[in-house]
Amino acid sequence: MLILKTLSRGDQHGYAIAQFIQQASAEVLRVEEGALYPALHRLEVRGLLKAEWGASDNNRRAKFYRLTASGRRALEQESAFWDRVAGAVSRVMQMA
């Protein structure tokens, strides 16, 4: 979901996605960066992402990922689901 969300802001390569998630989450969600790639490839195989080779900011060859239409739909579903769950969890936490 985080990957999909990141890409909804525009096409990115793997390194930039990793950077963005770390920074946006204020370094809370910092895992081994390599774990990103199996996830990216899984999403690509499932057709939620499309990949293209392009030039990075510093003019190196990099693989850019773009959200597909079905990727966008999946993101909507998942974020709606997440909102419900997170809302429910926080309500429970507040009540306790």
Partner 1 sequence: MEPVIAAWHRLKALLRRRRLDRDLDDELAFHLAMREAESVRDGLSGDRARAYARRRFGNVTHFKEQSREMWMFPSFESFVSDVKLALRTLRRSPGFAGVAVLALALGIGGNTAIFSLVDAVRAHALPYKDPDRLVALWGNVMRARVERRGTSYPDYSDWRTQSRSFESMAAVDLQSITLVGDETERIPAEYVAASYFAVLGVEASRGRTFLDSEDVVAAPADVTVLSDGLWKRRFGADPGIVGRVITLCCGARSYTIVGVMPPGFKGITDRAELWVPFATYAPAPSMADRGSRGFAPIARLKPGVTMTAAQAELDAIAKQLERAYPATNEKRGVEVSALDVELVGALRPALLTLMVAVAFVLLIACANVANLMIARSEARRREIAVRAALGAGRGRLLRQLITESCVLTALGALVGLAVAHETVVLLVAQSPVTFPSFVTPELDSRVATFTIVVSLLCGILVGLAPGLQARAVDLNSALKDTARGSDSRRSHRLRGALVVAELAMAVVLLVGAGLMIRSVRNLVAIDPGFDPNNILAMRVTIPRSNVTAQDGAATAPPQPIIMGRALLDRIRALPGVSAATLGTDLPLDGGGAASFYAAEGMPATNAQNVPRGYVHRVSSEFFTVLRIPMIAGRTFAESEMTPTSSAIIVSDRVVKRFWPGQDPIGKRIKFGPATSVNPWMSIVGVVAEVKYRGLPDNPTADPDLYLPFGERNSQLALAIRGTVPPATLVAPVRMLIRSIDTTIPVYATASMDELIGSQTSQSRFTMWLMGIFALVALSLAVVGIYGVMSYLVSQRTREIGIRLALGASGGDILRLIVGNGARLIAAGITVGVALAFALQRLVTSLLFGVTAANGISVAAIGLLAAVALLACYVPAVRAARVDPLHALRYE
User: Site residues (CB under 8 A) for partner 1?
Assistant: 13-15, 18, 32-35, 37-38, 40-42, 44-47, 53, 56, 58, 60-63, 70
Side chain identity at residue 50, one-letter code: K
Question: What is the distance between the alpha carbons of residues 29 and 39, in angstroms, rounded to a whole number?
Answer: 15
Burial (CB count within 10 angstroms: exposed 0-12, middle 13-18, buried 19+), residue 62: middle
Pick the closer one to partner 1 by CB: 37 or 82.
37
Shortest gap between Cβ of 42 and partner 1 (angstroms)?
Answer: 5
By C-beta, is 54 or 90 nearer to partner 1?
54
